[in-house]
Amino acid sequence: MADSLVGINIFTLVQAVLVCSILGAVSFKLKFVSFSGLISAFFIGVLIFVFPPEGWKWFVIILIFHVVAAQFTKFKYEIKRRKGFAQEKGGARAWPNIVANGVVATLFVVAGGFSSLGVFLFGFIGAVSTATADTLATEIGLLNKDKPRLITNLRKEVPAGTSGGISPMGEMGTLLGGLIIGISVLLLKIGNHGNEMILLATVISGLIGCTFDSFIGATIQGMFKCKICQNVTENKKHCGNKTIRVRGSSYINNNMVNLMATTVGALFAVIIFFVLAS
């Protein structure tokens, strides 16, 4: 057992560290992630790479999420920047964002350990589908012609980019996100589940996870008002000054909402697994 460390193949671990170091360095250089984002993404990447059998395939799924998210964040970046919605630092993701989106998927991978049990795969793809669907809903939704409407009151228009706002373009983004992850799982031949079962799980869990995300965004997520420019924002600081809370809880920020949404997405994918596998 000299080639294995508590069940982890040393060769796979070396591969994982090498691949994650190279990709991490490139992502950092391209400003997809901040330094803290790089460190957290590195650990998440290595864990996902070494735990499941053929973990590199699961790793590629995470990679697809990051590449798709980065591409869509940069997509029409100039338009979004002018509208004032583009993420700060040109979309470079810091650790709270990486962890909020990745921790649930990672927990399913680690909990599944060295088994290829379908239930862990479904929890994993449910979480990743929600994260991907949510990112695409936000980025594609910002390009919607009309203003989004509040999920809790569809008659009420809200400014583009508002948490809890939904739009036809945003919903298209949601479906696309789930579809991209489902097709990727099928192309990589992860597990031996039917095509319909995988696609149904990724699209539905992405849709439910995102809808939950919007619902929390419209209700208990903290919203603040800037004293300088009078804009309503999710941030505790704006225009260099502290903002005033107008609704929701100041503990529930966007990352907390992402964490809750990926949990819900993962649980729904697990339910779909048990319903369809029986």
Count CB atoms within 10 A of the CB of residue 65.
24
Site for Zn ion in 208-227 (CB under 5 A): 226
Site for Zn ion in 238-257 (CB under 5 A): 238-239
32 close to 90: Cβ distance less than 8 angstroms? no
Size of the site for Zn ion (CB under 5 A): 5
Q: How far is the CB of 88 from Zn ion (least distance, A)?
A: 13
**Binding window for Zn ion (CB under 5 A); candidates: 86-94, 208-216, 228-236, 263-271:** 228-236
Q: How far is the CB of 234 from Zn ion (least distance, A)?
A: 12
**Binding window for Zn ion (CB under 5 A); candidates: 37-45, 165-173, 217-225, 237-245:** 237-245
Q: How far is the CB of 270 from Zn ion (least distance, A)?
A: 42
Nearer to Zn ion, 243 or 253 (CB): 243
Burial class (CB in 10 A: 0-12, 13-18, 19+), 235: middle
Question: Does position 229 bind Zn ion by CB under 5 A?
Answer: yes
- Residue among 22, 26, 228, 246 that touches Zn ion (CB under 5 A): 228
259 close to 103: Cβ distance less than 8 angstroms? yes
Nearer to Zn ion, 80 or 238 (CB): 238
Helices (H), 9-117: 10-29, 35-50, 55-74, 77-83, 95-112
Q: How far is the CB of 56 from Zn ion (least distance, A)?
A: 45
Q: Which residues contact 130 (CB under 8 A, 6 or more apart)?
A: 205, 206, 208, 209, 210, 213, 261, 262, 264, 265, 266
b/e 146-168 (16+ beta carbons within 10 angstroms → b): eebbbbeeeeeebebbbbbbbbe
Q: How far is the CB of 82 from Zn ion (least distance, A)?
A: 17
Contact positions vs Zn ion (CB under 5 A): 226, 228-229, 238-239
